[in-house]
Structure 1
Amino acid sequence: MLRKTGSPDRVLVAVRDEEWGDALPSQRRFQVSPDARILAYTRPDTEALELVRRDGRATNIGGVREGDVRFSPDGKVLAVVRIGYDTQLVTRVDLSRFEADTWAELRSPTWIEHCADGLVVLHLDDHESDACLTLLPWEGAPQRLVQTEWGLSRFTVAKAGRRIVYFHRKGIYAVEGPGAAPERIGSVPDSYVGLVQNAEMSPDGRSVAFTSGRGLYVIEGSAEPALRGAADEAVHSIWFSRDGRELAWASGARAVWRKDGEERTLEAEGAPIAAMRFLQASPGLIVSRGREVLRWSPARGEVEGITTLDDAGKGLLGADVFDGGIVLWTGTPWEQARPKPRL
């Protein structure tokens, strides 16, 4: 829903959408463009992606079934993974005109990120046996960057450059754009649990942060991964600021912010932190804690309550700022009942 002061809440979409496995990345449910002028959100009921501009203009992209969605860093292009017949379509939307065209057809894209050269896509090869990283340049044909056997779990890119870091089983690799050979730059720590689930890179490519869902590790330059905080901390959110100087991450128990060696923490205080993002059009972070939305300004040591859910039966899954209001993603908590044993 969209909440504005002095106006009734505007429900954008309300559906029953049960999550049985891993949590859905918040970017696949809703996100705001880097200039905070466009809101993109998915509708599970119609399998469409809705785009709304601050001036009221709106459009939708059909065939989106929890596929990846990503704004370019300059806010001019939106990349969307859509359903195809035998492959999936990666669609490019010109946000100045709301016009869409097919960027590429690939098998089973699972993650996309923009770099300076275009869009990098993690997908399967034509035989569905190998994992591939392919660059879709702003102009021209797709370029294969990496092809390897199963086990490539996640990648991240330098948004202002061309460096790509990916995680293949226990190895950490870097590739410096088309034509470059992958180079092993490190190993996932022996104490690590499972495959890498989330990773982010600073825009200049100098720092990488990643997690399997337990603990946060940071690679600075060519150094080995270093643990930040507790190894068993269930980290769900990782972000670098637009200039790359700030790194923030969050678990249900706390949110942490680092800049130039300084570190500050926002505790859960009895209400779990569900999500956290950097604000797009102003300094600071927006934090979803319990049923409360907070604006956290670590550099100034300030925490401000923005709004609170009135319905005690609903939980807050995420929030962001758009068009002078707050976008709220809410859900109804539920527990799966265990079947009674048969005697």
Structure 2
Amino acid sequence: MTDGRRLVDGYRLVVFDLDGVIYLIDRPIPGAVEAVGRLHAEGRAVAYATNNASRRSSEVADLLTGMGVAARPEEVLTSAAAAAELLGDRYPAEAPVLVVGAEALRAEVRAVGLTPVTRAEESPVAVVQGYGPQVGWSDLAEAAVAIRAGAAWIATNTDRTLPSGRGPLPGNGALVAALRTALNRDPDVVVGKPSPELFATAARHAGAGRTLVVGDRLDTDIEGAVRAGLDSLLVLTGVSGVAELLAAVPEQRPTYVSENLAGLFDPAAVVRVPGPAEAAGWSAALRDGRVELSGAGRPLDALPALCAAAWSVAEPVSVRAASPEAELAFAALDLLAD
């Protein structure tokens, strides 16, 4: 940031995505435990919003606490709970719902008074589909039969991938895509991000004051924040990288970018995007259909100028280094230059 203030001081509530921001699968991302602990020590409101439907809020809170992040179930908003709440509002008590996903999703369906089932012949009123590592062909087949018979189709989220220590792995969106192909139709409702409900709910719980959303994915976390009318911080510890950032459509553009959660507290570790075309020693301009970066400085400080140039045109553009320092910056930002 250019004014020397801490980013976090401008917000009452910080809402974190989990996978790719706080942890990768079951291991905390370096610095995340310390960052959340610092927020708690300062008395700041914290919430967690996750599209992962394989754990209940209490399980997520226990997982976080086990990693050293003190978390309460009421601070955790999951797409599984939101989907179950939607179904509970829509259907009478004990109505059968075919659940495709993990046991956590079944538990959320039971918690709202509905009856989880596994086969289409049990005449479910709806199919709810969430991520589960054991979901297989037979589960998708039962869902397809039930939906063709008239059951509503609710997806907890459509994340194409989920982050892991080995790189992105197939997410619920990949499984939804299989059903979409088989049925030649989209789900009736997608509950999780980028729909704004999870973030809007968190902001309502916090009351008055500004909310900052912190995420690692442009197509879910950041777009969800934009739809909810909230500021957002993209951290580069998960799925979306700088190349994807420069190609982002308007509804997926963050307010700020940081390499990690240090950007919440260190003004030098976060930048606002887009920024001036010439600043912090860098200059970016469109030349011959490419974004050309010249000058010298810290790699992160080049992002505001790069975003300003790349976002000034409708189509994604490639980048080119016009100085040796720019080549080093591209390497540090994992950008492939022409």
TM-score by length of 2: 0.29
Task: Say which one has the larger Rg.
Answer: 2
Greater share of residues in helix: 2
Higher relative contact order (CA 8 A, sep 6+): 2
Greater share of residues in strand: 1
